[in-house]
């Protein structure tokens, strides 16, 4: 067996066999931690800005200016509190395509590691999928949209297309 023959078989094995053996999962909300960190940073800046308004001295005590300063500082502190108290909405539902059982499952992780199945459909009951650049629509048998899944990378789209080819009708 030559090296090129071995390499081509290895590539074929990695491409085809691995796709149909493992489940494929799509996340709903990427980078939620980064979003929360940015909101908290903006919240801290707004809180500091609300306090810094009183440090600036314009040289005269104008009652209208004091009212405007109080309103601005109160508004910025309120927005800062809102941004600082934002929390992670929890684990988003996970979509699993199981080629062994030939089914699609939407699972919501719960408290204490318990998972709850929100939707379970066999591949035979799905009308098809419509692949787009940034999302995938899972269709009912009548053509209505059952589920829309955002895709973050084109590689995920290609893997999903290869896994569903021949199993579920793929619409353009």
What per-residue confidence (pLDDT) applies to 15? 53
For the cut 50, the answer to whether the pLDDT of residue 2 exceeds it is no
Which tens digits make up the pLDDT trace of 8-35?
Answer: 554 554 555 554 555 555 555 557 778 8
pLDDT of residue 46: 94
For residue range 102-148, what is the model confidence (pLDDT) as tens digits?
888 888 887 777 888 888 888 888 888 888 888 888 888 888 888 88
Question: With bands split at pLDDT 50, 70 and 90, how would you rate the model's confidence at 53?
Answer: confident
pTM over 0.85: no
pLDDT at site 168: 83
**pLDDT band at 45; cut points 50, 70, 90:** very high
Which pLDDT belongs to residue 90? Answer: 67
Mean pLDDT of the 31-41 span? 86
Closest among 5, 26, 172, 166 to 104, alpha carbons compared: 26
H or E stretch at 5: helix 3-12
Q: What is the pLDDT of residue 1?
A: 42
Summary count for the chain: helices (H), strands (E): 5, 8
Q: How far apart are CA 71 and CA 56, in angstroms?
A: 15
61-98 residue pLDDT tens:
778 888 888 899 999 999 999 999 988 766 678 888 88
Q: Which of 41-45, 65-69, 122-126, 168-172 has the lowest mean pLDDT?
A: 168-172
Which pair of structure tokens corresponds to residue 99? 């080629």
At 54 the pLDDT is 84
Terminal alpha carbon distance of the chain = 41
- 15: which DSSP letter? I
CATH architecture of the domain covering 3-29+90-171: Roll (2.30)
């Amino acid at each position: 067996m030559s090296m090129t023959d071995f390499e081509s078989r290895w590539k074929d094995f990695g491409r085809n066999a691995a796709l149909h053996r493992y489940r494929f999962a799509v996340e709903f909300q990427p980078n939620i931690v980064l979003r929360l960190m940015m909101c908290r940073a903006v919240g801290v800046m707004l809180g500091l800005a609300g306090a810094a308004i009183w440090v600036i001295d314009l040289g005269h005590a104008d009652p209208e200016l004091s009212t405007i300063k109080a309103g601005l500082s109160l508004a910025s502190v309120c927005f800062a509190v809102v941004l600082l108290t934002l929390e992670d909405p929890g684990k988003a539902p996970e979509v699993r395509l199981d080629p062994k059982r030939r089914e699609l499952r939407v699972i919501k992780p719960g408290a204490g590691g318990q998972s709850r199945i929100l939707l379970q459909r066999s591949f035979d009951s799905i009308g098809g999928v419509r692949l787009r650049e940034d999302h995938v629509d899972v269709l009912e048998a009548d053509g209505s949209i059952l589920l829309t899944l955002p895709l973050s990378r084109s590689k995920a789209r290609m893997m999903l297309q290869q896994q569903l080819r021949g199993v579920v009708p793929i619409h353009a």
